[in-house]
Structure 1
Amino acid sequence: MKVVSEPLQSGSSLADDYIHHYEKVSLLYGEDYHRDQTWMDRMKWLDDTEDRRVNRHALVEILKDYNEKFNSHDAVHTSLYMLEKPGTLVVTGGQQSGLFTGSMLVVYKAITIIHAAKEAEKRLNRPVVPLFWIAGEDHDWDEVNHTYLLSGDTQQVSKIKMDKYSSQRSSVSYSAISSDEWDRAIQSLSDTLPDSDVKVDILTKIQQSTDTTDNLSDAFAKLMGELFGKYGLVLLDSADIRLRKLESPIFASMIERNDDLGQAYRAAADQITSLGYGLQADVADDGANLFYIHEGNRILLAKQEGKFMDRKGLVSFTKEQLLDMLEMHPERFSNNVLTRPIMQDSLLPVLACVLGQGEIAYWPITRQAFEIMDAKMPILLPRMSFTLIEDTQQKYMEKYSLSFQDVQYRLQERREQWLSAQDSLQIDKLFSTTREAFEQLYDPLIEQLGNLQTGLYTLGQSNKNKIADQISYLEGKAKDALEQQHEATLRQWDRIGTLLFPMGKPQERVFNVYHYLNRYGLSLIDEILEKTGDYSEEHRVILL
């Protein structure tokens, strides 16, 4: 395995400036994560504000129960033991609970959290625990109910998708999945993965992750624990009802200060757009930025006429009524994308939060809101980014002198150039010459016929167009024949593109990690953790 740095096209200009040109966006974010002093200052602030967060012991008791069920490893027990001690810090990051862990960026986020926690421990000489925040309270089922692998038979991107019992907009952690649906998805995975030495082990572990659960989040937690528990990665499901009692005072503050929070979000959003960047999260002028569970549906609250209500008029509360409801039923409340960062910081002593580029771009909307809640935005650490290149693709790329940047930006152009070089007939030149010769003969003919009768010129022009279409048709067929002649080789070109940029997107945003674990073994993640060494925000290519 060899690791080399290769730039990957940025998905966000704001995130790109945050990583590479911090001085341009310092007003939006605060302190520069590149500086050692930033980390020292954050540690001191966390020490000074220990009493502003929930009780460590109460939180760890909940995390112990959860991780004992889904992520029981000695290293996790050690992490939780340390987390209970004052002064222990956390590096965290989160993602929705995708099918079979979802796309590889989820795995890379966990790797980043682990790397960053280890480095922070050395930098600060202080215990730092890695923690993965499972966003199980999210209700966008269509974002998490599928995953992509490369079909072993067709070499095409294959989608595996699941359905749930009901159409309710309930949190993913409470969206029931039937055992038949689990079996169908696992069978699809089995059919898609080619035979290998570890395929049976993979399918067994995935089957075990679903045996005692009826929801996606629990299965996700078991698989993440299987992959990363040995590194002490603690798991937290944001939909865990037991957390709601601890979170109630924070929710109450969010309700009490809701107008101020709304103004803070709006002001930050205006500041971002004034600098020429787009917004990565909606900031509604009347948004309450909280969800309420009503009859199993997770509905977003807004503020209208002095009341908290949803836009369909299903529920309506005064501030006092909403606070009373919070006291009676804390399990009915959950965060949206703008209040979740604040809740995370209220639960955990967050030294740094690992984020993808889209998250980096929307987090500055929350900066002023942190201050409203007597908090301070944590250090934002860009997620590590990788592209895996298999040995076969390496050979093909060397054979055709293709760099990673060629594949990213100009693969089709290079493909056409290669094919043109195999064209001994010089089809383009041959047909261009033919068209010129045809027009030289035909244009004078229809001019003369037009002198004989006007209608003959019009008819001749129409006939000319038909003949030109037939020439183009024949040219297309000739090019098709050329491609067919080199079909096997062109499949190699197409496979390079499919594996490195499936569906035209970065590999890490599409493919599931089990495609690679099935081929290179269950120790692949351990090797990536070892070989990638220190944390780096630069995209890297891993040559397998």
Structure 2
Amino acid sequence: MPTQHIAYADTGYFSKTVCDYLSQDASLKDFYGNFPTLENFKNQIDQKTEYFSDTARKVLVAQLNSQYKGVAVSESTQNNIDALANANTFTITTGHQLNLFTGPLYFLYKIISVINLSEELNVAYPDKHFVPVYWMATEDHDFDEINYFNFRGKKVVWDRPDGGAVGEFTTEGLQRVFLAFENELKESFGFTKNAKQLLKLFKEAYLDHGTLSEATRYIGNQLFKDFGLVIVDGNDKLLKSAFVPYAKKELLEHLSFNKVSQTTAALVKSGYGEQVHPREINLFYLIEGVRERIIETDGMFMVNDTDITFTEKEILMELEAHPERFSPNALLRPLYQEVILPNLCYTGGGGELAYWFQLKDYFKSVEVPFPILLLRNSAVLILEKEIKSLGKLGLKLEDLFKKQIDLQADYTRKISEIEIDFTKQREHLKLQFKEMYTIAENTDASFIGAVAAQEKKQLKGLNHLEKRLLKAQKRKYKELLDKVTRLQNSVFPQQSLQERNTNFSEFYLNNGYSLISKIKKELKPLDLRFSVIDL
């Protein structure tokens, strides 16, 4: 089956904000810059060229080379790192948490989106060069969001104490996770060639590297090195030095709070939600084992849940001496990223785009170009056996996107030899009562009320009978409905998007490394539709 595409609005899984953005609804236009089309990248290139300096490029290249020390860098990745020194080279960036063994499938989709878009732009603008970048969220502290991955309906979990930036966590304890994963693979598939490759990747990443950031870089590099992916760790003293002027404004002027609050109020007034709530200071203080909010009270700067305090003079001295200790939160990280990268486009999920929409006015106030925002590719991988099941059950692919209760009801109505639809009976009843209302109009008002009450009662009774008939037919066709439910659960685990639950390893077992190239071939970043890929 060739790859099929479905409008995001028709899947039932994407927010009004996302769907309105993709349709370029007028109510959102004030909250983003250039819309993601090939033609609009010319304007974006002009804006970034004027802003980004040669000095910033030199610092970036030096630090990337430093971060890649000890890593087996592919020729294409090294060429891309070197090219970033040139004024005609730009990045296409996505970011993601350091999920254990990449976490859900959309980790792959994010990175493939930026790789494919970079390749497309390299063709469209041959005098420029475009580099795909994965920004590792090494400074995040939400360990419970990343300490597991799902495998065949089970959680493979890494238990360890929390605290501080996750990228600095040692890989202690992952030997037990490796053994648990090894046992799951053995029981499910045996030690096939692809299973051994998965175990090798896990072992070399987590047991042969000292920190979570090093392990994640290794996995990203192994999976995508053939495509020139450059992986950036923002938790870097020299890179953060460029962000010092913006961090200073944040501490002294609360600039992001004021601007983002105004933009958020306008978003809400336009009918959209607040994705991230701005703080007066959107910076964390980061030292070993600690990443806590900086709070200003009566001229003193305190680090939340610690005894650390600074005067204004002291915190500015600390910022100059140790910029690495100042960690931007979700609202400030986009600015940091755009300050240190010659970036044209940020590619992210719907939730990410929603908080970027809160930032446009803030970017303007600090005179940093606002990037093109691109919804990452979203897809479901469907197996041949699942396609055959669709045919045998007489289902269309679109049926699987329905809520399960609706799918079961619609399928029962479809296969039932009895029509489970009392619409005709309801219309007939309403006609009868129309005559009764005519009679009632010639009497007093209380009789009209009695007729209305009786109509409501009888319509309610018909609705109840229809539901009873549907329930009875569901029991009759239980075996077929169970097959329909199992099929939907297979494609949409936990009645949600596969990409948010399933780890790539389940598909790697049958496809090996060709899984990456198969997905890459089918995803088109500027085709703003949901993809269904036949594996």
Distance 1:273 1:303, change over 3 A: farther
Show the 5 A alignment for 1:380-459: 380-415=373-408
TM-score normalised per structure 1: 0.81
Q: Which consecutive residues of structure 2, in runs of 5 or more, have no partner in the other structure?
A: 420-468
Q: 1:186 aligns with which of 169, 181, 184?
A: 181
Summarize deviations over 1:119-165 as a string: whole Å, max 9, x none: 22233331011111011110100110111122xxxxxx21111112x
Alignment correspondent of 2:458: none
Alignment correspondent of 2:154: 158
Alignment correspondent of 1:265: 260
Partner AA of 1:382 in structure 2: L
Once the 2 structures are TM-superposed, how far is the Cα of residue 490 of structure 1 from its aligned partner?
5.3
Show the 5 A alignment for 1:8-407: 8-34=11-37, 36=39, 38-51=40-53, 55-70=56-71, 72-125=73-126, 126-150=128-152, 157-164=153-160, 166-168=161-163, 170-178=164-172, 179-187=174-182, 189-191=184-186, 193-195=188-190, 196-241=192-237, 243-256=239-252, 258-284=253-279, 287-293=280-286, 296-312=289-305, 314-407=307-400
Once the 2 structures are TM-superposed, how far is the Cα of residue 290 of structure 1 from its aligned partner?
0.2
Contact 2:234 2:240 survives alignment (8 Å): no
Once the 2 structures are TM-superposed, how far is the Cα of residue 425 of structure 1 from its aligned partner?
13
Summarize deviations over 1:230-265 as a string: whole Å, max 9, x none: 100100122345533454444334434x42222111
Contact 1:76 1:234 survives alignment (8 Å): yes
Aligned to 1:337, what secondary structure does the other structure show? Answer: coil
Aligned to 1:223, what secondary structure does the other structure show? Answer: helix
Alignment correspondent of 2:449: none
Partner AA of 1:378 in structure 2: P
Once the 2 structures are TM-superposed, how far is the Cα of residue 540 of structure 1 from its aligned partner?
0.8
Distance 1:515 1:368, change over 3 A: same
Contact 1:310 1:316 survives alignment (8 Å): yes
Aligned to 2:528, what secondary structure does the other structure show? Answer: coil
Q: Does 1:514 align with 2:505?
A: yes
Aligned to 1:117, what secondary structure does the other structure show? Answer: helix
Aligned to 2:347, what secondary structure does the other structure show? Answer: strand
CA distance in 2, matches of 1:326, 1:278: 34
CA distance in 1, matches of 2:57, 2:360: 25
Contact 1:209 1:222 survives alignment (8 Å): yes
Aligned to 1:24, what secondary structure does the other structure show? Answer: helix
Aligned to 1:338, what secondary structure does the other structure show? Answer: coil
Contact 1:149 1:192 survives alignment (8 Å): no
Partner AA of 2:4 in structure 1: V
Aligned to 1:236, what secondary structure does the other structure show? Answer: strand
Once the 2 structures are TM-superposed, how far is the Cα of residue 73 of structure 1 from its aligned partner?
0.8
CA distance in 1, matches of 2:201, 2:114: 23
Once the 2 structures are TM-superposed, how far is the Cα of residue 493 of structure 1 from its aligned partner?
2.6
Partner AA of 1:267 in structure 2: Q
Q: Which moved more, 1:492-501 or 1:384-393?
A: 492-501
Partner AA of 1:322 in structure 2: I
Contact 1:10 1:16 survives alignment (8 Å): no
Alignment correspondent of 2:424: none
TM-score normalised per structure 2: 0.82
Distance 1:497 1:103, change over 3 A: same
Aligned to 1:402, what secondary structure does the other structure show? Answer: coil
Once the 2 structures are TM-superposed, how far is the Cα of residue 499 of structure 1 from its aligned partner?
2.3
Aligned to 1:292, what secondary structure does the other structure show? Answer: strand
Contact 2:242 2:339 survives alignment (8 Å): no
Summarize deviations over 1:349-399 as a string: whole Å, max 9, x none: 111111111111111211121122221211111101111111111111111
Distance 1:192 1:242, change over 3 A: farther
Q: Does 1:495 align with 2:486?
A: yes
Partner AA of 2:367 in structure 1: D
Once the 2 structures are TM-superposed, how far is the Cα of residue 188 of structure 1 from its aligned partner?
5.2
Contact 1:6 1:404 survives alignment (8 Å): no
CA distance in 1, matches of 2:162, 2:100: 18
Q: Which consecutive residues of structure 1, in runs of 5 or more, have no partner in the other structure?
A: 151-156, 427-474
Contact 1:163 1:181 survives alignment (8 Å): no
RMSD: 2.9
Once the 2 structures are TM-superposed, how far is the Cα of residue 14 of structure 1 from its aligned partner?
1.4
Partner AA of 2:47 in structure 1: W
Alignment correspondent of 1:442: none
Contact 2:99 2:146 survives alignment (8 Å): yes
Aligned to 2:402, what secondary structure does the other structure show? Answer: helix
Once the 2 structures are TM-superposed, how far is the Cα of residue 54 of structure 1 from its aligned partner?
5.6
Q: Which moved more, 1:239-248 or 1:220-229?
A: 239-248
Contact 2:105 2:504 survives alignment (8 Å): yes
Once the 2 structures are TM-superposed, how far is the Cα of residue 270 of structure 1 from its aligned partner?
0.8
Contact 2:90 2:344 survives alignment (8 Å): yes
CA distance in 2, matches of 1:417, 1:270: 41
CA distance in 1, matches of 2:306, 2:201: 45
**Aligned sequence identity (%):** 25
Aligned to 2:281, what secondary structure does the other structure show? Answer: strand
CA distance in 1, matches of 2:119, 2:418: 61
Aligned to 1:288, what secondary structure does the other structure show? Answer: coil
Partner AA of 1:175 in structure 2: F
Distance 1:207 1:357, change over 3 A: same
- Aligned length, in residue pairs: 481
Summarize deviations over 1:316-342 as a string: whole Å, max 9, x none: 323322111122322321110011011
Distance 1:266 1:415, change over 3 A: closer
Show the 5 A alignment for 1:520-531: 520-531=511-522
Contact 1:119 1:534 survives alignment (8 Å): no
Alignment correspondent of 1:542: 533
Q: Which moved more, 1:517-526 or 1:238-247?
A: 238-247
Summarize deviations over 1:500-524 as a string: whole Å, max 9, x none: 2111211111110111111222211
